[in-house]
């Protein structure tokens, strides 16, 4: 909304300054990632002991409750600047690469040699729901303090940000800082309490933002407390989230079904509705097949449109059941239909859909011979005749 529009000039200001706009865009796409800190930044000396267990992978202490007290007072050591720091790394050549956690925190010294991605996640970056965009395992439950990687039980796109310095323009400040990490869907600021909830359009961007903004400051020298938001108890918000999940599911179905089915389900095609009324009776007076029958797919589908592409599968099974003779006859008939001399190998030159189409064509010229083999459901009138309409 308005916060994004306010933000983009601010973001581009930094990069637009050194070069004209058009040139900048081209460079940006092919630019290698720059190292964010000098390699001497990563020291081998262990951090002060703040917990009971030392984790060598993260070079920090965990366990006990001292970690939080220590860390919460310590500002982040770096800060990622997407416009200046992002670029390609070795990870861009490898599909399914994860994002660089150190890049998000602004402290990766490796630049283009990094094995992880140095850019913002976008909608095309899809990960297993059990890991976050940095490749870290999620847990079944959130930590008591809602910190950490988070839970795989719920898709969480909202981060909680506490300890924001309270000013009159707190909303503008929050919007400006958090828009850097991806498309923001919604921001809610509790002005007097210095608390904000930021919802990103994509989960990966929320994950990225949470790491990028942990212990950062906004326009004042505060040290932010960034956590996962708990599920919003507001019924309006819950309804909104439920609707979003439904929309995602609908989109997935839309992609999986053939175009003509989708048009019919959504009632976009009035002709199709009329046709369905007639067709879904399957010749039985007063009967109209329910959706799950009418839109069913597979070799046994009642609706001829649902059988399309599955005929071959069905016939192959019948061939196996009937032994080789039937198979040879089929191939011979197909060869005749094609006017070919050479034997046709199933699945050889032709795709299965092509073969299926050819076999349908053959069936329509001699429907009687096929009818007996087609099983009880398909015996509702000849499918080939229906299909001609």
Residue 213 Cβ, how far from Zn ion at the closest point, in Å? 18
Residue 117 Cβ, how far from Zn ion at the closest point, in Å? 8
Residue 214 Cβ, how far from Zn ion at the closest point, in Å? 17
**Do the strands 53-55 and 60-62 form a parallel or antiparallel pair, or are they unpaired?**
antiparallel
Residue 18 Cβ, how far from Zn ion at the closest point, in Å? 24
> 22 or 93: whose CB is closer to Zn ion?
93
* Cβ atoms of residues 72 and 50 within 8 Å: no
Long-range CB pairs of 122-128 (<8 Å, 24+ gap) are 122/182, 122/202, 122/204, 123/201, 123/202, 125/99, 125/204, 127/98, 127/204
Residue 63 Cβ, how far from Zn ion at the closest point, in Å? 27
CA-based torsion, 376, 377, 380, 384: positive or negative:
negative
Q: How many CB atoms lie within 10 A of CB 12?
A: 13
Q: What crossing angle do the helices spanning 311-322 and 324-338 adopt, rounded to 10°?
A: 140
> 100 or 159: whose CB is closer to Zn ion?
100
> 87 or 194: whose CB is closer to Zn ion?
87
Residue 355 Cβ, how far from Zn ion at the closest point, in Å? 50
State how far the Cα of 383 lies from the Cα of 387, in Å rounded to an integer. Answer: 6
> 110 or 307: whose CB is closer to Zn ion?
110
> 110 or 119: whose CB is closer to Zn ion?
110
Which positions lie near Zn ion, rule CB under 5 A?
Answer: 100, 103, 108, 110, 114, 116
> 105 or 308: whose CB is closer to Zn ion?
105
> 60 or 119: whose CB is closer to Zn ion?
119
Residue 111 Cβ, how far from Zn ion at the closest point, in Å? 8
Residue 144 tokens, joined:
């008591």
């Amino acid at each position: 909304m308005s916060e994004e529009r306010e933000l983009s000039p601010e973001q581009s200001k930094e990069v637009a300054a050194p070069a004209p706009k058009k040139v900048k865009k081209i460079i940006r796409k092919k630019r290698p990632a720059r190292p964010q800190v000098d390699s001497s930044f990563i020291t081998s000396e262990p951090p002060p002991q703040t917990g009971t267990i030392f984790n060598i992978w993260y070079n920090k202490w965990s366990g006990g409750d001292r970690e939080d007290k220590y860390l919460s007072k310590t500002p982040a050591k770096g800060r990622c600047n997407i416009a200046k720091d992002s670029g390609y790394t070795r990870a861009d050549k490898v599909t399914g690469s994860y994002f660089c956690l150190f890049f998000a925190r602004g402290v990766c010294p490796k630049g283009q040699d990094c094995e992880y991605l140095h850019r913002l996640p976008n909608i095309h970056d899809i990960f297993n729901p059990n890991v976050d965009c940095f490749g870290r395992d999620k847990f079944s439950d959130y930590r008591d303090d809602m910190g950490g990687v988070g839970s795989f039980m719920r898709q969480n796109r909202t981060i909680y940000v506490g300890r924001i310095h309270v000013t009159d323009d707190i909303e503008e400040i929050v919007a400006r800082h958090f828009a850097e990490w991806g498309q923001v869907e919604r921001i809610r600021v509790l002005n007097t309490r210095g608390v904000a909830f930021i919802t990103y359009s994509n989960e990966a961007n929320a994950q990225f933002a949470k790491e990028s903004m942990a212990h950062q400051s906004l326009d004042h020298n505060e040290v932010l407390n960034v956590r996962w938001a708990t599920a919003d108890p507001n019924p309006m918000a819950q309804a909104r989230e439920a609707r979003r999940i439904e929309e995602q599911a609908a989109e997935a179905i839309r992609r999986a079904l053939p175009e003509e089915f989708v048009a019919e389900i959504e009632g976009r095609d009035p002709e199709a509705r009329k046709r369905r009324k007639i067709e879904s009776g399957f010749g039985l007076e007063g009967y109209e097949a329910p959706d799950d029958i009418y839109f069913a797919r597979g070799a046994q589908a009642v609706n001829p449109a649902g059988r399309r592409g599955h005929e071959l599968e069905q016939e192959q099974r019948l061939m196996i059941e009937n032994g080789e003779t039937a198979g040879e006859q089929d191939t011979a008939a197909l060869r005749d239909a094609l006017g070919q001399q050479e034997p046709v190998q199933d699945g050889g030159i032709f795709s299965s859909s092509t073969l299926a189409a050819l076999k349908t064509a053959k069936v329509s010229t001699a429907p009687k011979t096929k009818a007996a083999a087609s099983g009880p459901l398909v015996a509702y009138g000849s499918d080939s005749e229906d299909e001609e309409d």
